[in-house]
Amino acid sequence: MRDVEFHNREKETREIRAILDSRPTLITFIYGPINSGKTELITHTIEELPDEYVVFYINLRTKFLASYDEFIESLFEMEMEAEGATRKKKETLAELVSSVTKVAGIPITKEFMDYVFKDKKPKNAFSYIIKLFEEVEATGKQPVLIVDELQKIGDVNVNSSLIYELFNFFIDLTKERHLAHVFVATSDSLFIEQIYSEAMLSGRCRYLLVDDFDRGTTTAFLGEYGFTDGETQTAWDYCGGKPIFLLELIRIDEKERFAKKILATRVNQLKDLLDYLDYTKPGIAIGETRYLVEKEDVVNILRRFVDAEDIDSDGLNRPAKQFLIEDNILFLDLDTGIIKPQSRLNLLAIRKVLEERVQ
Ligand SMILES: Nc1ncnc2c1ncn2[C@@H]1O[C@H](COP(=O)(O)OP(=O)(O)O)[C@@H](O)[C@H]1O
Ligand SMILES: [Mg+2]
């Protein structure tokens, strides 16, 4: 199999580079439907950056976050104790910074870790990071902090002020101190909507949408891998421009059969979900109150997609809407307030399931 190379994203890459070229002032949310290529774009952009940027990249996806301590730990990467007498143990921040490569987690030693955890307040962790970033700045370089899959912080079972404090810290790094660029990536636009009001982000953040490829980009991408016009049409009809599925289609010879198979899987998952709602009403928190999700409201929202590809978020039943977004069936575009299925496959599956219900 040929290795698939990073494709296009010129516009988004340009936007990120323009942000990095200017003084840090706002927090940047990189958002978009699942598997649209957010992490790939970030990783690729970092690789291409000149050495004057020192990037601290934290991906919470693989981290187990059940407690406050685990969240704080997830931010840092412990420096191993030097073995033998040949390497000097790193004791100062300057020594730590001198060993930082272009991309890493936030380095820390055991001694600093004790300080960070001292009285279980995020304040200590944040002041450590600020000092470390100031050391980076002192060497003439620009610190960049990237937190990927930040919605996982929602799993942390502590007082709700953690998010508030974290975003105040991000505001401090950007708008107040102009010390570091801060990027936060997530597929969960409800999470962004929620912290937007809780952390008073008005005027302190910007959004960068990384959506599935458009038609032209998809055609160009698949063309590089020898797709015929017919194969490209099949790919677009079933998978739209969702990179993760396009990669599968590149890999597989019987493209149409594969596309039909993943659609059938999606249809079954959706049917199963509707069946599940016959037996239970999931609870959804809106502010302080919990609401029950009614199957009828869910079906009413889905029905809107029978003859539309996207719909206005206004006026929809809120618990049902939230349930469908949290379940990764629908995606909310924060900039426009437009809701659409998370993928072309989801759109097709919704239509198929609803058609069958009518018959
Ligand atoms: N521009 C691109 N060129 C080639 N492959 C890509 C591109 N964007 C995403 N992919 C591939 O698609 C898959 C999903 O991308 P990922 O970045 O993990 O999505 P997200 O972070 O938005 O959920 C990955 O396997 C990735 O390698
Ligand atoms: Mg990702």
User: Domain-by-domain residue ranges, the chain?
Assistant: 10-209, 254-358
Q: Which ligand is nearest to the CA of 244?
A: 1
pLDDT for the residue 358: 64
The best mutation among 3, 12, 38, 40 to test binding of ligand 1, ranked by most ligand atoms within 8 Å of the C-beta, falls on 40
pLDDT for the residue 344: 96
CB 327 within 8 A of CB 188: no
pLDDT for the residue 179: 98
The one-letter amino acid code at 281 reads: K
* Nearest CA owner, ligand 1 atom 8: 37
Q: For helices 110-117 and 122-138, what crossing angle results, to 10°?
A: 140
Of the candidates 184, 108, 181, the residue with the CA atom closest to the CA atom of residue 153:
184
pLDDT for the residue 156: 66
**Residue 31 DSSP symbol:** E
Our answer on whether the CB atom of 328 is closer than 6 Å to any ligand 1 atom is no
The Cα–Cα gap between 275 and 297 comes to: 14
* Nearest CA owner, ligand 1 atom 25: 244
pLDDT for the residue 215: 95
Our answer on whether the CB atom of 34 is closer than 6 Å to any ligand 1 atom is yes
pLDDT for the residue 114: 86
SS3 23: coil
Collect all residues with Cβ–Cβ distance below 8 Å to 182 and sequence separation of at least 6. Answer: 24, 27, 28, 144, 145, 146, 147, 170, 173, 174
Our answer on whether the CB atom of 218 is closer than 6 Å to any ligand 1 atom is no
Of the candidates 100, 92, 90, the residue with the CA atom closest to the CA atom of residue 144:
100
Token code pair at residue 173: 């790094």
pLDDT for the residue 69: 83
**What separation in Å is there between the alpha carbon of 97 and the centre of ligand 1?**
31
The Cα–Cα gap between 114 and 93 comes to: 15
**What separation in Å is there between the alpha carbon of 282 and the centre of ligand 2?**
27
pLDDT for the residue 45: 92
Q: Which ligand is nearest to the CA of 61?
A: 2
**What separation in Å is there between the alpha carbon of 32 and the centre of ligand 2?**
10
Tell me the average confidence (pLDDT) per consecutive run of 10 residues in the chain, 359 residues long. Answer: 80 95 96 95 92 92 82 83 58 81 79 83 90 94 94 69 87 96 92 80 92 95 95 96 96 95 96 97 88 97 96 94 93 92 96 83
CATH architecture, domain defined by 254-358 = Orthogonal Bundle (1.10)
pLDDT for the residue 83: 55
The one-letter amino acid code at 29 reads: F
Question: Beta-carbon neighbour count of residue 51 at 10 Å?
Answer: 8
Cα torsion through 214, 220, 221, 224, rounded to 10? 170
The best mutation among 214, 244, 342 to test binding of ligand 1, ranked by most ligand atoms within 8 Å of the C-beta, falls on 244
Q: Indicate the class that CATH gives domain 10-209.
A: alpha beta
The Cα–Cα gap between 252 and 257 comes to: 10
pTM (two decimals):
0.90
